[in-house]
Amino acid sequence: MEISNLYLHEEDKLHYLPTFKRFPLAFIKGKGSRLWDADGKEYIDLLAGIAVNNVGHCHPKVVKAIQEQAAELMHVSNFFVSPPQVALSKLLVDISYMDHVFLTNSGAESVEGAIKVARKWAHANGKGGTIISMENSFHGRTLATIATGQEKYQRGFAPIPTGFAQVPFNDIAAIKAVSSEEVAAIIVEPIQGEGGIRPANPQYLQQLRNYCDEHRILLIFDEIQCGVGRTGQYFAKDHYGVQPDIMTLAKGLGGGMAIGAFLCVKKVGDAIDFGDHGTTFGGNPLASAAALATLQVIQEEKLLDEATEKGAWLMDKLRGLQKEFGTIREVRGVGLMIGVQLDKPAAPLVKALMDRGIIANATADNVLRLVPPLNIPKSDLKTALEVLRELLTND
């Protein structure tokens, strides 16, 4: 097979379902915070597969764990247990202060599972099954998850599943206005990702926690993008000091290997019976070994501290650019989950950065999203800032 950006891009268009508006790039190698395309060009990666490669591309400890596990045992049915799954489950419960975990293959599957167990608990407690979500949220692309999300993702897929309601983000009064005994759970991203990197107001999540406790409603945190060290804590919830009843994970959990999870407290787990939920591939030995190694790297290399320090430094530099260039309206985020809101669409800037060897992306139309590996060298961040400054100067 010919290996070039052009050839692979054209072949892809012939065979792959046209659901992605792809850039004409084909990446063939990654190491740390660097990527190389099929034409040999090197890039600094500030996207990390959209907050997936939290420990960088092909971290040697993650690679070693995958290689060794692949040589021993890749998959068994969940009728049985395996050492990597048992170890990963214990670690996730320990660092989250939750009681139970269920391992999945993706973020959307994690949210689907969260919705199922929330409704099972609600029905067991004489309540309805309505799920309240937030405007501008994103929880996945399956039918149930688009029912929780933005209208643009629902178009053309009617009938959309019922039993969902949506309210403005950061607005406790809006929750109270639609709440009833029919509500099983409220799902919220502590930091909205696809909605433009928008953190919840500090008091909002505590207000939600108090309201849910008062009205026997489960609180679900979607930490698929903001979890696994991205914000400088294992989970964004820890910045707020608020504990959910259910929490969803994926993206950064496997260091690049596909794996997700949802965790829950004991009262939710107690409502689940044998056969209520299941998965063929979720938490298999290979994926679990990758996730376990990823979490161990985050611990051993103190990447929570790295994300905190580099994130604060980077946002300070970006706010300096904001003072210098009127194009930047706002810089927001936590740790290394950063959004730069522009006064115009961000896509042209993303393309210009890519042409200069910097990978980022646009979200919510006018927000430049920066979610690099947690262990990205500061020298790479400095280079990216220099390129960004040049592009803004010449804009």
Catalytic residue among 37, 45, 138, 221: 138
203-231 b/e (C-beta count within 10 Å ≥ 16 → b): ebbebbbebbeeeebbbbbbbbbbbbbbb
The verdict on whether 222 is a catalytic residue reads yes
The verdict on whether 251 is a catalytic residue reads yes
The verdict on whether 79 is a catalytic residue reads no
Q: How far apart are CA 196 and CA 179, in angstroms?
A: 26
Phi, psi of 208 (to 5 degrees): -60, -45
Catalytic residue among 45, 164, 169, 222: 222
Q: How far apart are CA 321 and CA 272, in angstroms?
A: 52
Q: What's the per-residue H, E or C state across the chain?
A: CCCCHHHHHHHHHHHCCCCCCCCCCCEEEEEECEEEECCCCEEEECCHHHHCCCCCECCHHHHHHHHHHHHHCCCCCCCCCCHHHHHHHHHHHHHHCCCEEEEECCHHHHHHHHHHHHHHHHHHCCCCCEEEEECCCCCCCCHHHHHCCCHHHCCCCCCCCCCEEEECCCCHHHHHHHCCCCEEEEEECCEECCCCCEECCHHHHHHHHHHHHHCCCEEEEECCCCCCCCCCCCCCHHHHCCCCCEEEECHHHHECECCEEEEECHHHHCCCCCCCCCCCCCCCHHHHHHHHHHHHHHHHCCHHHHHHHHHHHHHHHHHHHHHHCCCEEEEEEECCEEEEEECCCCHHHHHHHHHCCEECEEECCCEEEECCCCCCCHHHHHHHHHHHHHHHHCC
Closest CA to 85 of 373, 289, 335: 289
Catalytic residue among 120, 127, 251, 310: 251
Contact predicate 372/33, CB 8 Å: yes
Query: What are the residue numbers of the active site?
Result: 138, 222, 251
